[in-house]
Structure 1
Amino acid sequence: MIRPSALRVEDRVIFAGQAHTVVAFSGTTIRLLSDAGETTVVALSYLLAAEDFELIGAAPAPRVESVGLLEAMPEHVVAAAREWERHLVEIETGLPPGAAADARPRPEYDPMTQTMAARDKAKAAELTAAGSKTGVRTVQRMRARYRDQGLWGLVDTRSARAAKPTGHVDERVLAAAVRVIGAQTGTSTGTKSRAIRQIRELLDDEHGPGVVELPSRATCYRLLEVLSKGRHTFGSAVTRRQTANKPPRPYTATTAARPGEQVQLDATPLDVMAVMDDGVIGRAELVLSIDIATRTICSGVLRPVGAKAVDAALLLARSTVPEPMRPGWDQALAMEASRIPHQRLVALDARMAMAAAKPVIVPDTVVIDHGKVFLSEVFLRAADTLGISVQPAHQQTATDKSIVERTFASINTLFCQHVAGYTGRDVTRRGADVAERAVWSLPELQELFDEWVICGWQTRPHDGLRHPFNPDQATSPNDAYAALVAAAGYVPVALTGEDYIELLPADWRAITDTGIQIEYRTYNSAELRQWAGQSSGVTAKGGRWEVHHDPYDVSRVWVRNHHGHGWITAPWTHHTVVGQPFADFTWRASRKIAAQRGVDDTNEMAVAVILAALLRRADTGPGADRVLARTRTAREMTNHLPAELTVPPSAAATVPALPAGTAADEESAGEESGAVEVVVGEVVPFGMFDPFADDPFADDSGVRR
């Protein structure tokens, strides 16, 4: 209806708060002359985009119709608006829309002979005669709205009103309901009747008893339904808390362009029951690190629930040092293969080859939560040593490390549910005999998980992982690593075995003639023996030597050679009795069992024998002694004498009292013994020493000799 305004020489414009005159054009630039006589050259796009730009005296430019809004309106409302548009165009131009080229205006609407006021009066009379009573003022108002808003200004606004979900409820009731619903986030799920009672109490406290009247009970229920929509106020408490923890900012995908650019760390209990060192069934905790760019599981550490700072630090060490480069890894793997009572996923040689092919990713940045494990000094110092930037996620914001959270769900689906002892993700999905099915010990479960990572996860195409050069193709972590390394143009140099030792926990110990002692374990070797009784030269530590050990394999330690270079490897002196790697928490469990049996828990050989039997029992599963093991660990075992001793009267003076704990061991005998008869004068030969027996010091009758 109105042609767009044009900018010409000598036009007057408002720019930068002043009136200017257009004096010249040059390409896309315009020369302006202000009323103060100052000349300005400005780009056309910059001039038109200025907030205060205005073309003085020009007709307003037409507005683009709100087509989207019109489509949401009923058809009869849009038709009425278009009918009004036809009449208004005729008033303005003299001809209705779509008129023929040779058409002439009707006399009452001819702009050449009739004023605008006369045309408005004629249109009002025409509409009234047609049956729609219309005044001149109405015609003028509709014409002004059409000029300002276009066709949308002619729409009946009653049809454009938005629905009011809460109806006509008192605003005070509405505000109280919103506050009550917000307070339900951290509480246990209740019913709507409880919420109504809380709303009533809140209104009475704020406005006085009975001042604000509640609507009917049905209206209150509908109100709560509307206000709690999508918040799960009266549903699952877990879902409600998770929904409330969602960040208000827009979601953005976590992306990385090269391996190690960002690695996410987290810990969670694994949905598998395992046989712990004392024979009791329990869940293990998985501490995991995953690379964002390639979805490679850099490392995963399994331990009893309650991860420590050293576990997180060890996670970094295992991530940055390939398995074949870790000190003694091949020997440890061979020993594990000799004791695992099941068919391996892959042969030992293939296991070593695939472990060597697994990508080694050195992180640039690690994303952690606010758990004390990751915020500990041990972990932060290890990250600082490796030059890794630590980025804490926001509090209660799982979306900041969504990749590792989703990986835990994938591990449950692809690994845990296929392992004996699978618990399901919650109690509603748990079987009736989960504890009966648990057969794997913690070291075996760790071995199974490591094999699954290199055989299953790393070679399996992931739907959420796309090839960088072919987005339509799902790819595996190994293939994604190969592609991204080629695109990055460099390969990170992995740490060495000595670097791995540097990242392990350290103690300071003296070297004696017997070696080094850590938690009543003695370590010695021929190379270490030559430094017995000598000072390390580190005066700050009183001449003691720096000793590093792996908490998950304390069968050997590494001593820094302060008078030379490198490390001195010292194996545990009683390792031949055990014959396999073991963790520090397994050693502590063995000492606890020794103390419960009345054996000196500082006696290294005695604890080693119990440790061997403990590892054997963990390998074979709980068996028939599960109930007894649970009973034994549920109560505190005290040193006590046998309930009854039968001794011949003639020998009573010559038989000394048995020390505490010398009765037949309840666990090795399978049941608690009653009276034990001690025969005097009979020579009882020593039996064959069996280090794997539950009590190697007891004979066939259960009595220690």
Structure 2
Amino acid sequence: MIVRVGIGVTLTWDEQRFVIIAADYRHVTLRSLEADFTRMVDADELVRLPNVTWHADRTDSATGSAARILDGLDDEERRVVDAWAEHLAVVKAAVDNGQPAKVYFEDVRTAMSKLTSVTSLETVRRKFHRYCAEGVLGLVDARHLNRGKRDIDVRIGMALSELGEKGTTRSSGTTSRTLDRLRWTLEEDYGDAIDIPSQRTLYRMVAAHPTARKLNGSAKSRQTSANKPGRAFGVHGSLRPGEHVQIDSTVIDVPSRLLDGRLNRAELTVIHDVSCRSILAGVVRAVATNSADLAGVLARALTPYELRPPGAREQRERVAATWTGRFMIDQERLDHHRLAQPYIFPETITTDNGKICRSEAFRRGCERAGISLIHAAHETGTDKPHVESGFDAIKDGFVQYLEGFTGGSVDRRGRDEPTDRALALNQLQELLEDWIAIEWQNRPHAGLSDPMLPGRALTPNEMFRAYRRIAPELHVPFGLDEFIGFLPAKRCTLQDYGINHARRVYRSNRLTELRAAGAGGEGATRPCVIRYDPHNPLFVWVEHGDEFVPFRCVGDLLDEPMGGEIWQAAHAVDTATDTAIREEAAYLADRMKRAQWVRPGKERNRAVRTAEVNRDPMHMTGVSKTIARETPTTEPDGDEVIWERGGGFSLLTDDDGVWERLT
């Protein structure tokens, strides 16, 4: 780029080349290099014309390059280069006047020895010749000019690129393995026709290569980098809340307790709004999320907390008593934040290409609600970056504080993590929803920064209110029947006492009516289809025509006074001791039952077994006892005779002698 022009500078104007032959403060005279004519133009107009291309001469280009290199040096190196240039300029001036240069080399060496560690006369001579040939640029260390470096052979670069591409999905190794494979590839392809550099040079080549250098790093990071699209990243914008929503699932690094007490890793599914960074719904499951669970997540996003079915708030108060009772927190304070969470209707949802996201159940649920689906590119997390980064924020702000957090990898996992105190699935769900309503929705988000004041960020709730002030619009939320219609379905049977579901019994005042109608008109079989919420065990709903009949769970010990304390005391017992007692009891019960069993065809063995295992001296039941009395091996005497023949008790009299003898 030319900063200052003068006589002799060339330019291209309307596809014709010109050279400046004269210039003053107002006009510039140009002469055509292709035709015999001149042109006079206004100087200010010439430099502003868009169709004029200026051509820099070699001197200006070299000067600009030298200036950029000198500006890139650190302060110490720049000070040394300037000192060399100052002393060598004196030597060059003396040489131009006809004096020999060797006379001044000693003075330069003495002066530069104060700034550099080692300086010899040969160094001064070499620096002087470079200064005369290249100017100040010749005094710069060659490492800053990429001198002395060997250019990478194209064939070696192609082999490194091949190794980097093939190693994307392979396990990581060391750099020495990469070098061995590089040599083998070059020998197989080119034989002796290629000169393989030294070991150190190959190490530098691998370290500078964009893909081969990742072969000894994290395999997950290498796969993530390979999945990035080759095009430039775009921006996922949204003009209003709900216009662009993203949904995704991930396994969190914390176990949850199932209904039978076993532990299993939980899976988190989140619906994330792009415009105001609100989380519309978040659900945890202890097993892999299926299409019915995904529809349930969508139902929670479409139905505000206050419009959810009966039992939702009661179940939440039950579970939240764990963290509210300890710190004397009023339940209404938590409900206040739940009710303040904005309702946003998702118009367009971006999902990945998972099987559940392409399932018919989820697709039909979105069609019923009038929601458009966009499927991201295969294995391209950059198509839904907001929800992906949201998982990291949830891990940092919520998951890592839970009991049993495993750290994310084996090398970050502790040995003494108290997994026995892991939360139940219902507890984890309600705690997650409270955390989203209280912390996530009221925490400033970096993506909601003011362009004019980047240091000020808004919270999702504040951003939603700002959108509503500028673009007010109303979204009618789902009602009770719509919410229940999105819940998972299951076939059950109406019993005389109610419905069995998930080891619980549910009853309703309309049980007799539904049994008489056959719950669908199928007569005596009395089948039914129920809808259930995995995180609301207090109610199920029976499909009966166009309505959903609620069935409530039969009251349990938690509904009784001090019921919660009883269960806490039951869980506080020594688990190891309790397990040992159960195992011993099971073993003894099995032995007791097996003692009464005789294998068919082996009835004669009963007498033999009874003789071997006869431990009942008070009841003479068994052949072995009779045989033992008829043919005793030895005849006891003294106290043993009295004890045995008296049925275990001696025939005591008032004779003191007998008493003394016995005692």
Q: TM-score, normalised by structure 2?
A: 0.63
Q: 2:548 aligns with which of 544, 567, 571?
A: 567
1:13-162 counterparts in 2 under 5 A? 63-65=53-55, 72-74=64-66
Partner residue of 1:641? Answer: 590
Distance in 1 separating the partners of 2:156 and 2:451:
55
* Cα pair 1:231 1:243 within 8 Å, conserved: no
Cα 1:510/1:236, change in 2 over 3 Å: closer
Name the structure 2 match of 1:196: 179
Which residue identity lines up with residue 417 of structure 2 in the other structure? Answer: V
Q: Check conservation: 2:498, 2:505, Cα contact below 8 A.
A: yes
1:556 aligns with 2:510: no
2:305 equivalent in structure 1: 323
Counterpart Cα distance in 2 of 1:181 and 1:69 = 38
Q: Does 1:232 align with 2:181?
A: no
Is the 1:173–1:212 Cα contact (8 Å) retained in structure 2?
Answer: no
Deviation at residue 649 of structure 1 after TM alignment: 6.3
Q: How does 1:507-526 map to 2 (within 5 A)?
A: 507-509=490-492, 511=494, 513-518=496-501, 522-526=505-509
Distance 1:436 1:521, change over 3 A: closer
1:142 alignment counterpart = none
Corresponding position of 2:342: 359
Q: Match of 1:501?
A: 484
2:439 counterpart SS class: helix
Q: Which of 222, 227, 246 is the equivalent residue of 1:264? A: 246
Residue number among 241, 247, 255 corresponding to 2:223 in the alignment:
241
Question: SS where residue 458 of structure 1 aligns?
Answer: helix
User: Is 1:222 aligned with 2:204?
Assistant: yes
1:221-264 C-alpha deviation (Å, 9 max, x unpaired)? 22222224795222222222222222221122322121111121
Post-superposition shift, 1:520?
A: 7.0
Q: Counterpart of 2:456 in 1: which secondary structure?
A: strand
Structure 1 residues 399 and 482: alpha-carbon distance in aligned structure 2, compared to 1, 3 A threshold: same
Local SS of the residue matching 1:526: coil
Q: CA deviation at 1:627?
A: 9.6
Output one character per residue of 1:120-147: Cα deviation in whole Å (capped at 9) or x when no partner: xxxxxxxxxx99xxxxxxxxxxxxxxxx
The partner residue of 2:391 within 408, 411, 422 is 408
Match of 2:366 in 1: 383
List per-residue Cα deviations over 1:407-457 (Å, max 9, x = no partner).
111122222333333333333333332135744333222222222111211
Residue 440 of structure 2 aligns with an amino acid whose one-letter code is W
Counterpart position of 2:425: 442
Aligned equivalent of 1:46: none
1:599-610, aligned counterparts within 5 Å? none
Structure 1 residue aligned with 2:416: 433
Distance 1:177 1:210 in 2: 18
Q: Tell me if the contact between 1:272 and 1:422 (Cα under 8 Å) persists in the aligned partners.
A: yes
Higher helix share: 2
In structure 1, C-alpha distance between the alignment counterparts of 2:352 and 2:407, rounded to whole Å? 25
Partner Cα distance (2:255, 2:454) in 1? 39
The amino acid across from 1:478 in the alignment is: N
Which one-letter code corresponds to 2:157 in the other structure?
L
**Does structure 1 residue 625 correspond to structure 2 residue 562?**
no
Q: What amino acid sits opposite 1:297 in the alignment?
A: I
* Residues 275 and 193 of structure 1: CA distance in aligned 2, closer, same or farther (over 3 Å): same
Distance 2:277 2:620 in 1: 73
Inter-CA distance 177–229: structure 2 relative to 1 (3 Å threshold): closer
Counterpart position of 1:291: 273
1:373 corresponding residue in structure 2:
356
1:194–1:335: structure 2 CA closer, same or farther, 3 Å change rule?
closer
What SS is found at the alignment partner of 1:547?
strand
**Partner deviation per Cα, 1:453-498 (whole Å, 9 max, x = no partner):** 1121111222222359976531111111111122222021111122
Write out per-residue CA displacement over residues 26-70 of structure 1, whole angstroms, 9 at most, x where no aligned residue.
Answer: xxxxxxxxxxxxxxxxxxxxxxxxxxxxx9997798632569966
Looking at structure 1, the residues matched to 490 and 463 of structure 2 have their Cα atoms a distance apart, in angstroms, of 40
Question: Structure 1-normalised TM-score?
Answer: 0.60
Look up the SS of the partner of 2:556 in the other structure: helix
Unpaired runs of 5+ in structure 2? 1-6, 17-33, 40-50, 71-96, 99-133, 139-143, 596-613, 623-663
Contact 2:281/2:301, CA 8 A, preserved across alignment: yes
Gaps of 5+ in 1: 8-12, 15-54, 79-129, 132-154, 581-611, 655-705
Match of 2:164 in 1: 181
Deviates more, 1:275-284 or 1:374-383: 275-284
User: 1:527 and 2:510 equivalent?
Assistant: yes
User: 1:321 deviation in Å?
Assistant: 0.5
Q: How many residues align?
A: 491
In the alignment, is residue 577 of structure 1 matched against residue 556 of structure 2? yes
The corresponding residue for 2:291 is 309
- Identify the residue that residue 690 of structure 1 maps to in structure 2: none
Q: CA deviation at 1:400?
A: 1.5
Say if 1:348 and 1:366 are closer, same or farther in 2 by CA, change over 3 A.
Answer: same
Structure whose alpha-carbon radius of gyration is higher: 2
